[in-house]
């Protein structure tokens, strides 16, 4: 039953790698193609973390982020093994986080940087470019926080 969460994580990794390959095959590095007034395709390489944090620090951050992703993946797998069978929302949160972390880890292992290709903007305001793995991580984190709030409320209700 828990194997479905590994399938979801695997689907996130596959979709992430496919879309990064498509971006790399169709765009030049630094190229930006306006699709809608608020959305562009781009091809950027990020050797840092979210928002290019720790970018350009000489390369050591590559292995730091690989280690961090690996450690977090082990933690998520442990949590998935402890997950009650019926808690599909928490399982989805964990699988999105796992797939996102491993998707970006694959990039770092193979190239030393993460490929970003989605750019959202409005007029002169730009959100940092991201990819499928980043989106999965973000959605998974939001779901995880929602599950923690749900569980906290349920615990308080039981205690009352």
Q: Using one digit for the tens of pLDDT, what is the confidence trace for 3-37?
A: 899 999 999 999 999 999 999 999 999 999 999 99
The predicted model scores a pTM of 0.88
Which residues are tagged catalytic?
Answer: 116, 134
* Mean pLDDT value of segment 117-136: 93
Query: Residue 53 pLDDT > 80, yes or no?
Result: no
Q: Using one digit for the tens of pLDDT, what is the confidence trace for 57-108?
A: 666 777 888 999 999 999 999 999 999 888 999 999 999 999 999 999 999 9
- If pLDDT is split at 50, 70 and 90, which confidence band does 1 have? low
Range 4-11 contact pairs with CB under 8 angstroms and sequence separation of 24 or more: 4/91, 5/80, 5/83, 5/91, 5/92, 5/94, 5/95, 5/98, 6/80, 6/95, 6/98, 8/92, 8/95, 8/96, 8/99, 9/95, 9/96, 9/98, 9/99, 9/102, 10/99, 11/99
């Amino acid at each position: 039953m828990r194997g479905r969460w590994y399938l979801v994580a695997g689907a996130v990794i596959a979709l992430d790698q496919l879309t990064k390959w498509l971006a790399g095959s169709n765009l030049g590095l630094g190229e930006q193609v306006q699709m809608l007034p608020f959305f562009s395709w781009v091809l950027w390489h990020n050797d840092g973390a979210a928002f290019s944090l720790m970018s350009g620090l000489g390369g050591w951050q590559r292995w730091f982020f690989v280690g961090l992703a690996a450690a977090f993946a082990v933690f998520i797998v442990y949590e998935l093994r402890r997950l009650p069978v019926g808690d599909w929302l928490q399982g989805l949160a964990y699988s999105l986080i796992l797939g996102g972390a491993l998707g970006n880890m694959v990039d770092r292992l193979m190239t030393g940087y993460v490929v970003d290709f989605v750019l959202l903007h409005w007029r002169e305001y730009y959100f940092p470019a991201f990819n499928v793995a980043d989106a999965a991580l973000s959605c998974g984190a939001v779901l995880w926080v929602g599950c923690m709030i749900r569980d906290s409320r349920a615990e308080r209700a039981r205690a009352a």
